[in-house]
Chains A and B, each alone.
Chain A
Amino acid sequence: MSTILVIVEQRAGKLNRVSWETIAAGQAIAAQNGWTIEAAVVGSNSGSGVAAIANEVAAKKVAKVYAIDSARLDPYTPDAFSFALREFLQKHPAKLVLLPHTYQVRDFVPKLATALQTTVISDAIGYKYEDGKLLFTRQMFQGKFVADVSFAGAGPCFVTFQNGSFRADKVEAGAAPAPVETVNVVVPDGVVRTHPQQVFQEAKQAVDLTQAEIIVSVGRGIKEQKNIELAQQLADALGGELGASRPVCDNGWLPMDRQIGSSGQTVAPKLYLALGISGAIQHIVGMKASRSIVAINKDSEAPIFEIADYAVVGNLFDILPPLIEEVKKAKGPNQ
């Protein structure tokens, strides 16, 4: 019987919640093809409490959970993680290895897969069976297209899933806790070549966009820093906060703490108004859970329109002035 191994992510001794989505993905695939689903957590028991995390995962419907343990796995380094998982996978062969597409996973999985002479289908958003063949879907060209991707070779095939592709609340609990096995790995001297320092935040986040009910967000289409003022006026009229896509913050037009997306904040306001944002994947993952999305963009093929509830194709500099006026009118004179 073939095995699906889900590698959950721990950071500083805590399970990254996005791992539940990956388990949900594994359970869905296993339910369809009858393969066995197992899970693994990597770290050190003393430093990152992998046994406790393994027990948390063991409550779910999985056949077994491995706690892969070595003092050298804490703190995280790509060298140690790749080494330990290669050792593990050589002894516990899997057909599929599933992980969340996090920055940490991006950092070590291509190395691990290469060491095993196999491949990673990265940033997948789903899977399907077609003519008995297992295919993974992934976005291409910044979300403008989707590709069905097949894998070849002896495996294991690694697949990383984009945040939000599966629902964490769909994870099935097990009838009884799954067995947990601690696997002690010896990572020899010289394997780890990089020396990570403490994780830190640049500055205290001045703005907590996760609490905002209305966000007016600007992208590259705003063109110049002086045009930000127009978006600010709309945000003020609506009583919302200003957000931005990465290029706007890279240009220094708005501070980094306004950035929404995979490298910034993840938000889910009542209203997300995207001005001149094309909708690159890295931005979408940070705002797609918003209750209502309004997109204004001159490019009718911009991927942001795929997830918009209301769409305006046009020049935002034509639309913003009357829109600000209309919002002010609707809000009444007390505003």
Chain B
Amino acid sequence: MKILVCLKQVPQKDAPLKLNAAGTWVREDVSYEVNEPDAFALEEALRQKEKHGGEVVVITAGPARAAQVLREALAKGADRAIHLEDDAFAGLDPYNTARAIASAIQDDKFDLIFTGLQSDDYGYAQTGVILAEILGWPHATIIMQIDTTPSGIRVKRELEAGFFQFVDMPLPAVLTIQSGINKLRYATLIGIKQAKLKPMRKVTMAEVQSALGANLQKIEKLYVPEKSKNTVFLEGPPAEVAKQLVAKLKNEVRVI
């Protein structure tokens, strides 16, 4: 089983984000981490490889700093990495991001491509499905389980409100992976050492440019949301805050 995992580097969950001067993007001087559902996608690929053999390849598109998520994936057991490296990759709309990835892997023959179900920064939840359409492959989204069958795979799709559905599908296919599908592993010291010897292919913007088109959507402005509620902030030492809050629950919310 040869599996490609698409990873994205996003600002860390509790990183305090600030807008840039132009109000078009966040300032870059924050800590980054791998997008959470992508980490589960990688883990699932490693587990499939352990079961069925094969190869796990990881890919990301973004500035030089994004190579960190590839190095971490190699340390956890991925076999090789592809880095579409250019600051401009971060500004592509989902259609173009998928086209860039499709172009970069055209000489590879994968059985499966995994993405996280959405990213914590843009939150488009589209790139995996678009990639499937570009490649002409079937897809399934928000996957919680993957088993092989004589004719391909059976996946468990998460639906809303606690419902699920099994779907049988042929390979090759694209799956978008839900957080919590498995338990994440940590990289080992040996893994981190070995990662340094594993191949990382750089792909420049120029190499994939001809596959791209104009962005079809554009962020005109980014801003802090206007508050729709009058939030009352309770301040003071914990004991004092507890008293204030209970008074509110009693006199205003009326649940005590």
Interface residues of A (CB under 8 A from B): 78-79, 82, 102-104, 106-108, 110-111, 113-115, 118-123, 130, 135, 138-153, 193-202, 205, 213-214, 220, 238, 246-247, 249-250, 256-257, 259, 262-266, 270-271, 278, 280-281, 291-292, 294, 299, 301, 305-314, 318-319, 321-323, 325-327, 329-331
Are B125 and A106 in contact, CB atoms less than 8 angstroms apart? yes
- Nearest chain A CB to B231's CB is how many angstroms away? 5
- Chain A residue at minimal CB-CB distance from B179: A250
B189 within 8 A of A: no
- Chain B residue at minimal CB-CB distance from A303: B225
Residue of A82, A106, A143, A246 near B179 (CB, 8 A) is: A246
B190 within 8 A of A: no
Q: In the complex the two chains form, what is the Cα distance from A266 to B163 in whole Å?
A: 13
Chain A residues whose CB sits within 8 angstroms of the CB of B243 once the complex forms: 322, 326
- Nearest chain B CB to A118's CB is how many angstroms away? 6
Residue of A139, A200, A309, A312 near B123 (CB, 8 A) is: A139
Chain A residues whose CB sits within 8 angstroms of the CB of B93 once the complex forms: 119
Q: In the complex the two chains form, what is the Cα distance from A142 to B13 in whole Å?
A: 9
- Chain A residue at minimal CB-CB distance from B218: A150
**Which parts of B163-183 form the interface with A (CB within 8 Å)?**
163-170, 178-180
Q: How many A-B residue pairs have CB under 8 A?
A: 260
- Stretch among B14-22, B51-59, B76-84, B197-205 lining the A interface: B14-22
Are B16 and A301 in contact, CB atoms less than 8 angstroms apart? yes
Are B164 and A214 in contact, CB atoms less than 8 angstroms apart? no
Are A305 and B231 in contact, CB atoms less than 8 angstroms apart? yes
Q: In the complex the two chains form, what is the Cα distance from A263 to B162 in whole Å?
A: 6
Residue of B17, B134, B159, B228 near A114 (CB, 8 A) is: B134
A110 and B130 in contact, given A193-B169, A311-B232 (Cβ under 8 angstroms): yes
Are B229 and A145 in contact, CB atoms less than 8 angstroms apart? no
**Which parts of B1-39 form the interface with A (CB within 8 Å)?**
11, 13-14, 16-17, 19, 26
Residue of A122, A199, A326 near B242 (CB, 8 A) is: A326
- Nearest chain B CB to A22's CB is how many angstroms away? 16
Are A102 and B168 in contact, CB atoms less than 8 angstroms apart? no
Are A140 and B19 in contact, CB atoms less than 8 angstroms apart? no
Could you jot down 5 A-B contacts, CB within 8 Å?
A152-B218, A196-B167, A249-B180, A292-B255, A294-B248
B214 within 8 A of A: yes
Are A271 and B255 in contact, CB atoms less than 8 angstroms apart? yes
Q: In the complex the two chains form, what is the Cα distance from A106 to B128 in whole Å?
A: 11
B219 within 8 A of A: yes
Chain A residues whose CB sits within 8 angstroms of the CB of B138 once the complex forms: 78-79, 193-194
Q: Identify whether the interface residues of B are mostly helix, strand, loop, or mixed.
A: mixed
A319 and B241 in contact, given A246-B180, A270-B255, A311-B232 (Cβ under 8 angstroms): yes
Q: In the complex the two chains form, what is the Cα distance from A114 to B229 in whole Å?
A: 38
- Nearest chain A CB to B10's CB is how many angstroms away? 8
Chain A residues whose CB sits within 8 angstroms of the CB of B168 once the complex forms: 194-195, 197
Q: In the complex the two chains form, what is the Cα distance from A330 to B130 in whole Å?
A: 56
Chain A residues whose CB sits within 8 angstroms of the CB of B231 once the complex forms: 305-306, 308-311
- Stretch among B42-50, B62-70, B103-111, B139-147 lining the A interface: B139-147
Q: In the complex the two chains form, what is the Cα distance from A238 to B250 in whole Å?
A: 11
Are A278 and B13 in contact, CB atoms less than 8 angstroms apart? yes
Chain A residues whose CB sits within 8 angstroms of the CB of B222 once the complex forms: 140, 145-147
Chain B residues whose CB sits within 8 angstroms of the CB of A78 once the complex forms: 129, 138-141
**Which parts of B198-256 form the interface with A (CB within 8 Å)?**
214-225, 227-235, 238-239, 241-243, 245-246, 248-250, 252-256
Are A310 and B232 in contact, CB atoms less than 8 angstroms apart? yes
Are A111 and B129 in contact, CB atoms less than 8 angstroms apart? yes
Are A322 and B249 in contact, CB atoms less than 8 angstroms apart? no
Chain A residues whose CB sits within 8 angstroms of the CB of B235 once the complex forms: 313
List 5 A-B pairs, minimum CB-CB distance, nearest first.
A250-B180, A119-B216, A322-B242, A110-B129, A110-B126
Are B245 and A310 in contact, CB atoms less than 8 angstroms apart? yes
- Chain B residue at minimal CB-CB distance from A142: B120
Are B218 and A197 in contact, CB atoms less than 8 angstroms apart? no
